[in-house]
Amino acid sequence: IVALYNEGRSANSLANEYHLAVQTVTGWVKKAQIIGTDVTGKPVTRAQFNAMQKEVARLKEENEILKIAAVLLGEHRK
């Protein structure tokens, strides 16, 4: 559906043809929109970017937990 939209079909016509809400079609188009490239030059979509942001936030949180654990374990060994 996104490919058809990118070929020039309107969100309304696609929504009608596939029995979807227009907001569903436009949401898919927005998520599939290329917003940049990664370090290798590979295209990155909005959905991929959002997923990467969530992963970075999760890893930062894990890192903070591990730092605290390391301090606590270090104090325990003394």
Identify which of 8, 1, 7 has the alpha carbon closest to the alpha carbon of residue 31.
1
Question: Tens place of pLDDT for every residue, the chain, 78 residues?
Answer: 999 999 999 999 999 999 999 999 999 999 999 999 989 999 999 999 999 999 999 999 999 999 999 998 887 765
The pLDDT value recorded for residue 73 is: 87
pTM greater than the 0.75 cutoff: no
Domain extent listing, the chain:
2-77
Nearest to 6 by CA among 35, 24, 36, 26: 26
Contacts 24+ apart (CB under 8 A), 7-14: none
Q: What is the pLDDT of residue 31?
A: 93
Three-class DSSP category at 14: helix
Which of 51, 52, 4 has its CA nearest to residue 28? 4
